[in-house]
A and B are shown apart, each in its own frame.
Chain A
Amino acid sequence: MAAAAAQQHRHPKRRRLFLSLSPSPSPTPTPVAPPLDTLADELLFLVLDRVAQADPRALKSFALASRACHAAESRHRRVVRPLRPDLLPAALARYPCATRLDLSLCARVPDAALASAVSSCSALRAVDLSRSRGFGAAGVAALAALCPGLADLDLSNGVDLGDAAAAEVGRARGLRRLSLARWKPLTDMGLGCVAVVCTELRELSLKWCLGVSDLGIQLLALKCRKLTSLNLSYTMITKDSFPAIMKLPNLQELTLVGCIGIDDVALDSLDKECSKSLQVLDMSLCQNITDVGVSSIVKSVPNLLELDLSYCCPVTPSMVRSFQKIPKLQTLKLEGCKFMAYALKAIGISCVSLRELSLSKCSGVMDTELSLAVSRLKNLLKLDITCCRNITDVSLAAITSSCTSLISLRMESCSRVSSGALQLIGKHCSHLEELDLTDSDLDDEGLKALARCSKLSSLKIGICLKISDEGLTHIGRSCPKLCDIDLYRCGGLSNDGIIQIAQGCPMLECINLSYCTEITDRSLISLSKCAKLNTLEIRGCPMITSTGLSEIAMGCRLLSKLDIKKCFEINDVGMLYLSQFSHSLRQINLSYCSVTDIGLLSLSSISGLQNMTIVHLAGITPNGLMATLMVCGCLTKVKVHEAFKSKMPAHMIKNVEARGCVFQWIDKPFKVEVEPCDVWKQQSQDVLVR
């Protein structure tokens, strides 16, 4: 996908280049056929696959090498992800073998563009329009009519689409995957059209389809017998159609997030073991369910593997004991639930095969019960105890001693766990791949212990004020697979630690150095060696200048998200480098920087830029801003200070909005000073206590 994106965003230029070059070979005919012609397509494609795997940009270079290469690359590509809808016909014409059309970068796809695009490419099997607007029933009709093989259609977020469009969807008989999420005008009629015709459907999402009622869902359950995955979140499903859904013979995954119509009566109305195929059941945010209802549905779904009851109901011992009827249960998510006495203990007794347990933001999680529970859950691989503020070293000792095979441990804001106990994590759980210790008492000793976790790929140790370069050095030396590190507000860090990370973790993709006020350009220069880096957050690092940024721009060509808010020293030079090298950039936050119109305008040459935050930039004028916005054709969201609203011509704003861009007018006070991390932490804890 990333490859396709990288490929595509240079598309216009490439075409120009190609056109200018194409006349030249014709007057000078080459007598010898290029060696690539003799290669079979299959072999060539294997080569291309390898090349693309090594460097996503290599395919482009390959295509530009010769006509034959260009043609071979055209035949090779299966996924097309155009940046702009107006390029759609040309893109699809070039890639006749493309089976997947991803329009998620095109904010606005008019009916005509959609129709003309798909008319040239009838091999499409998957189309993603989930992030696009501007098309209606006619566009969907063209899609369904011209792509007979269409099997996967994502029309999520079609907030304006209704029954008419659904009826057109209903012509694509071969659909196996369909998402109609957030089709708020959709009613039973439209759903009926889809249900009757698309009987091959395997996966269907009707999330947020508020107009759909029991009638439509019942019809769906009657006609689409092959459904394996169904998302009915936030719909008005009630007990009238719930049994029909549960009786679908192949249903494996059912999502019922926020279904207020599902209550204990509905859950109790099911026959015993009525859905033997169901494996995943998500009933989070179903407010009208109590522990009684959960106990009663459990007997209907004997083969359940995953159960999500987040924000659903208080957890009682009797409810947990009923989980014995689903012995295969592997994943239990109880986020935000209130635990009654002995309930957590019962989890250890009833759910022995549990692999994943989430107790995040639960109240009533106490040391004794958690210790007892985890001592029995030997198979646990993932544990989430985020914001369980009552647990102490006792729990952590039990967790680390009994769940030694943990690969994921999230314990953000478990502030009562001491630094000494945190060392146990590294000592015992050496298989950890994901660790979240944000806002904890972690110190360098703990980090040193974590050095044993050589598989660590994601480490979040933000707001750990005690750590220093020394601890980070251990990580950098022994965690080569690290790709995501969060060092938000680690005030004790300086360049040396970052340099160690940058040198030791070549796979690094995402780093957050926000408010690490000590770091300078040296850190960025070292990070520029991490070629895979795509997300860099250096908000509030006042010592960073354009020099460091330019190194990043040149070194990290895949950079797509950049946050340089309150990096006051960064100016137009940095922007010029970015515009020159960071063509993958999608999102940038420039607030409080010293960038002027010039830098901003240069940014506009990054054709894929979608998201810009431009607040409190002294050097920006309304004209410069307007010019930038007009040039950036792919913008979907722009945050600008409210003052600009009146200064920019309204029709220009409308023009930009018509292309699919959403303006967010920010009205925050200008605030330059950055408080030290410890002060900030104290303040935030004060807020929490209050």
Chain B
Amino acid sequence: MEGRMTSLEATMKASSTMASSMARNADPDQQTLRSNSVEQFYFPRPGQSLPGIPPFFGPPSSSLYLPNDNEAKFGNQFESNPSQNTDWDPQAIVSNLTFLEQKIKQVKDIVQSMNNRENQVAGGSSELAAKQQLITADLTSIIIQLISTAGSLLPSMKNPLLSSNPAVRQLGNTLGSPMGFGMNANQRPSVDSKTDIPDTGKTSDYDELMNSLNTAQDERDELIKCPNPCGGEGSEPTPMEDHDVKESDDGGEGENLPPGSYVVLQLEKEEILAPHTHFCLICGKGFKRDANLRMHMRGHGDEYKTPAALAKPTKDSGADHAPVTRYSCPFVGCKRNKEHKKFQPLKTILCVKNHYKRSHCDKSYTCSRCNTKKFSVIADLKTHEKHCGRDKWLCSCGTTFSRKDKLFGHVALFQGHTPALPMEDVKVSEASEQPHDSEPMNEMARSMVYSFPSSSSDGISNLDMKMADDVRGYFSPLSFDPCFGALDDFTRPGFDISENPFSFLPSGSCSYGQQNGDS
């Protein structure tokens, strides 16, 4: 009974498909072949259960229709001169994409209707199964269409035409899968291990397609051919949405994890920046650490003092399936964002926090020693502060180095730069010099010229020397500005005095340097 019904349905379907295909495709032989294969696979489909079909047939066919010249060209390519299809047509792709869009929508509708029906009529499992198959087939065609569309962007090469039933064959392979969702999971491995598949005797055309895609040998033919049978098919919806998400999630080609082997989580910006992540359910107090929360909970009653309540909660739940979790940065466009082409996931929440603060937040922590370095992560500041001021190798231009050989490399490179001694080494004070704090800038410059020669602080004296010698090199704004900041580290009581005029006018020193440089 069922068999007959389905065969009937299939013939009906086949004829309709054939008609539409015939209308579109210039090659009748191919089309027949295809329709035959379609018939093979779609026979169980119950015709009456497809309310979405009538609208489905119209738009897709029209949308898939290429402009006449294109069509003719393609037709020619298929038959006579297939080696010429090296160019891809944006119009064709646009139309393909439009078609895909509509098709996806239709599949979605079907699935939704199926869902509704499922709620109403609990029975009819065979019908359901048939529908699932239909959805599977539609999705497959969508995928093929997608792939071929994308493939047309790759450098084209003429390949022998795929046999007319690739998608259908492939469908046959995937038929065994219970659900439409399963297709995705099954198909992916087949992509990865496509060479293993041909052992079934007949070479799967889909595999061939995949092969050709993978070897960057793409055919325009498929663009046209493959979608056609699929386009003719009725389709079912839901998985598409899921599939889409899944695919982009898997796209993360992180460390050494194969894509898809982990779950990607994306925290919101507020979550990332929240100071506390654990909150007391009773009083609402927030904590940074779960352990601290649990310690806090003890104050709310004896029930929180049990070993079970105090134990680490994560272990047992995580041990079950232990899905590998990776994190995505919420900042769109960031490489750590899952939308990025070369997405690289972040390993832990801490990584997410540090990454987000470092890359997408203001640097609000300033080093109190050097007053120049800024950090957004407080740990970074602390690390820096450990080393800040240790850059004891100082050049007369004010640049500091942590290593002596680096300083000497610098001095060797720049004409006139001399190694400058840290202030501790210079015993003589500069008490004789009284800088004039309130004087204008050029006055300041003059005082600098006059006062430094008799000073014995090496850093300054060298500056002076440089100024006399090669002003441009030394007092470029770039090198001048950090000079005093760096010298600050070595400030001694005797040195303070001469340093004063500059410290109150940090930008002034910079512009002064420019003046000199221009003169």
A residues whose Cβ falls under 8 Å from a Cβ of B: 136-138, 141, 145, 162-164, 167-168, 170-171, 188-190, 192-193, 196-197, 215-216, 218-219, 222-223
Contacts and interface: CB of A to CB of B under 8 A. Distances in A.
Contact of B421 (A141, A145, A189, A197): A189
Interface in B394-429: 404-405, 408, 411-412, 416-421, 425-428
Given A171-B465, A188-B419, 20 more contacts: A137-B427, A138-B456, A141-B456, A163-B421, A164-B456, A167-B418, A168-B456, A170-B465, A171-B461, A188-B408, A189-B419, A192-B411, A193-B421, A196-B416, A196-B418, A196-B419, A197-B418, A218-B412, A219-B408, A223-B412
B115 interface: no
B412 A163 contact: no
21 contacts: A137-B426, A137-B428, A163-B425, A163-B458, A164-B425, A167-B461, A170-B465, A171-B453, A171-B461, A171-B465, A188-B419, A189-B421, A192-B408, A193-B418, A193-B420, A193-B458, A193-B462, A196-B418, A197-B465, A216-B408, A219-B408
Given A163-B421, A167-B462, A193-B419, A222 B412 contact: yes
B465 to A, nearest CB: 7
Given A167-B461, A215-B404, A222-B412, A192 B419 contact: yes
Contacts of A170: 418, 465
Nearest to B454: A145
Contact of A192 (B418, B453, B456, B461): B418
Interface in B411-467: 411-412, 416-421, 425-428, 453-454, 456, 458, 461-462, 465
A164 B405 contact: no
A162 B229 CA distance: 90
Contacts of B420: 193
Contacts of A193: 418-421, 458, 462
B406 to A, nearest CB: 10
Interface in B366-419: 404-405, 408, 411-412, 416-419
Contacts of B416: 196
Contacts of A215: 404-405, 408
Contacts of A192: 408, 411, 418-419
Contacts of A136: 427
Interface in B211-266: none
Contacts of A138: 428, 456
Contacts of A223: 412
A190 B420 CA distance: 8
B412 A164 contact: no
A19 to B, nearest CB: 34
A445 to B, nearest CB: 67
Nearest to B422: A189
A219 B411 contact: yes
B453 A145 contact: yes
A192 B462 CA distance: 12
Contacts of B404: 188, 215
Contacts of B411: 192, 196, 219
Nearest to B419: A192
A164 B465 contact: no
A221 to B, nearest CB: 10
Contacts of A137: 426-428, 456
Contacts of A197: 418, 465
Contact of A167 (B405, B453, B458): B458
Nearest to B414: A196
A192 B419 CA distance: 6
A163 B404 CA distance: 15
Nearest to A171: B465
Nearest to B416: A196
A173 to B, nearest CB: 8
A199 to B, nearest CB: 10
Nearest to B408: A215
A167 B408 contact: no
A167 B417 contact: no
B467 to A, nearest CB: 13
A168 B418 CA distance: 12
A137 B454 CA distance: 12
Contact of B425 (A162, A188, A222): A162
Contacts of A163: 421, 425, 458
A193 B425 CA distance: 14
Nearest to B394: A189
Given A145-B453, A145-B454, A164 B426 contact: yes
A334 B119 CA distance: 111
Contacts of B408: 188, 192, 215-216, 218-219
Which of the listed residues B419, B421, B427, B462 has the most CB atoms from chain A within 10 Å of its own CB? Answer: B419
A478 to B, nearest CB: 62
A581 to B, nearest CB: 46
Nearest to A140: B456
Contacts of B426: 137, 164
B461 A196 contact: no
A92 B58 CA distance: 114
A219 B410 CA distance: 10
A138 to B, nearest CB: 5
A422 B138 CA distance: 122
B489 to A, nearest CB: 16
Contacts of B456: 137-138, 141, 164, 168
A400 to B, nearest CB: 56
B494 to A, nearest CB: 13
Nearest to A145: B453
A136 B426 CA distance: 11
Nearest to A137: B456
Contacts of A167: 418, 421, 458, 461-462
Contacts of A164: 421, 425-427, 456, 458
A195 to B, nearest CB: 8
Contacts of A216: 408
A218 B404 CA distance: 13
A545 B438 CA distance: 80
A222 B454 CA distance: 29
A219 B419 CA distance: 11
B421 A219 contact: no
Which of the listed residues A162, A219, A222 has the most CB atoms from chain B within 10 Å of its own CB? Answer: A219
A510 to B, nearest CB: 45
Contacts of B428: 137-138
Nearest to A196: B418
Nearest to B459: A167
Contacts of B461: 167, 171
A138 B412 CA distance: 27
A177 to B, nearest CB: 20
Contacts of B419: 188-189, 192-193, 196
A163 B425 CA distance: 8
Contact of A196 (B405, B417, B421, B454): B417
A549 B453 CA distance: 56
The 4 closest A-B pairs by CB, nearest first: A192-B419, A196-B418, A167-B458, A189-B419
A452 B416 CA distance: 62
A145 B454 CA distance: 8
Nearest to A215: B408
B449 to A, nearest CB: 14
Nearest to A168: B456
Contacts of B417: 196
A215 B403 CA distance: 12
A395 to B, nearest CB: 53
Contacts of B427: 136-137, 164
Contacts of B405: 215
A603 to B, nearest CB: 40
B95 to A, nearest CB: 69
A541 to B, nearest CB: 53
Which of the listed residues A162, A171, A215 has the most CB atoms from chain B within 10 Å of its own CB? Answer: A215
Contacts of B454: 141, 145
A622 B387 CA distance: 60
A324 B236 CA distance: 97
Contacts of B462: 167, 193
